[in-house]
A = this chain, B = another copy of it.
C-alpha cells in the first residue's frame, strides 16, 4: 500500500498525532523551516496537532500569528522568496477566502511571473470537512478552488500514514503545497512508521483492488468508499477503491488503468458536487477511457447548499457509504 519501504517501527497512531509527527520531522530535518499560524504555538492549534512542538523546538521555530490570514500567507510567500521553508497553518479551510489573493495571485503565480527565478517551498496545512456541526463557515471542502490554480500542488491525506508522509513530502517539495486535512479523521487510527518517510505527491493509492467497478475518492471519503465496497460486494460488484491522495498533480494514469479494467467508475468527494473536483475526474475518465466505459461516470458529492448546522440536516448532507451504494445501484441498474 505504501510507496516507501520503511525499516523502522510502525505504530498505530491517530491521524492527529500523525500530523504532529510529520511536522516534527520537517522541523528536525530543515533548519530553515518554521511554523506560523493562529494559535499554533501556545495552544498547539485548536485541534492540538502542533502540541509539544513549541517546547521541543522553541519560539524561534513556531509562531502564533494575529488573526490575519492575508498576513499569514504573505509572511510565507515573502519568507520563502527570501529562502526559508515556511509551514503555514490556515485553521479552517473555509478561511482561505480571506487570503485567496495571496494564494492565487502571489503564491501560485510568483515563480511563473518572474520567469522561474523565484522558488517558493511553502507548505500550508488546513482543516476541511463537514460532520462536526460547525455549520456553513467551518465545514467546507474547497480543494476545487486550489486545484484550478497552476503553480500549486494540493494533497488530501485520508489516513494517518498519508498525513505524516504527505506533510513530509510537501515540505521537501520546492513548490507551494496545500495539505488539506479533515477534522472528522483526527481520531482515525492507522499504521504510522517512526521517523521520516515520504508519500509521493501525485501518486494515487489503490487501496482495494477490484474487478468490475472503480471508485475514486478524495480525502476522508476513502473510508466511506471502502465501507460501500463491502456492501457492493454482496451485490456482486467487486469494487476497486482508489484514493486520489493528490488532486494537483492528479494521477490520471492510475485511474484510467483501473477503469480500463473495470469499465465503470464513480468519483466521491465531500465538497459540493456541482463544480467540484469530481467533475474534472469524471471528465478525464470519459476523455481517456471512453471506449472502455459501460456506464456514465457517477459523481457523489454534497448537495447544492451551504453546510447546514442542524445534525438532522448535516447527516444527510455529507456523503457516506449508504449514498455511495444508492448511487452505484442506480448507475449500474442493480
Binding site for B on A (CB under 8 A): 94-98, 100-105, 108-109, 112-113, 135-137, 142, 144-145, 147-151, 248, 271-272, 274-280, 282-283, 286-288, 290, 293, 295-299, 304-306, 308-309
Pairs A–B under 8 Å by Cβ, sample size 14? A95-B101, A97-B105, A98-B101, A112-B308, A147-B275, A150-B305, A274-B280, A275-B277, A279-B282, A282-B283, A283-B286, A283-B299, A286-B286, A287-B297
Nearest opposing residue in chain B for A287, CB measure: B296
Contact B306 A150, beta carbon cutoff 8 Å: yes
Shortest A145–chain B CB gap in Å is 5
Q: Which of B109, B271, B276, B282 contacts A286 (CB 8 A)?
A: B282
Q: Tell me whether B280 and A286 are in contact (CB under 8 A).
A: no
Known pairs A279-B279, A282-B282, A286-B286; A147 contacts B274 (CB<8 A): yes
Given A283-B299, A286-B297, are A112 and B305 also a contact pair (CB < 8 Å)? yes
Task: Give Cα A286–Cα B293 distance, bound, in whole angstroms.
Answer: 11
A102 surroundings in chain B (CB, below 8 A): 97
Q: How far is the CA of A22 from the CA of B6 in the complex (A)?
A: 65
Q: A100 to B101, alpha carbons, bound, how many Å?
A: 8
Asked if A148 and B145 make an inter-chain contact with CB atoms under 8 angstroms apart, the answer reads yes
Least distance between A69 CB and chain B CB atoms (Å): 8
Docked pose: A277 CA to B145 CA in angstroms: 11
Within the complex, the shortest CB–CB distance from A167 to chain B, in Å, comes to: 23
Given contacts A105-B136, A112-B305, A279-B280, 19 further A-B pairs with CB under 8 A are A95-B101, A97-B104, A98-B100, A105-B137, A109-B136, A109-B137, A109-B306, A145-B148, A147-B275, A148-B275, A148-B276, A149-B272, A275-B280, A279-B279, A283-B299, A287-B297, A288-B296, A290-B293, A290-B295
Report the minimum CB–CB distance from A203 to chain B (whole Å). Answer: 18
- B residues less than 8 Å from A299 (CB atoms): 283, 287
CB contact between A148 and one of B94, B144, B290 (< 8 Å): that residue? B144
Task: List B contacts of A103 (CB < 8 A).
Answer: 97
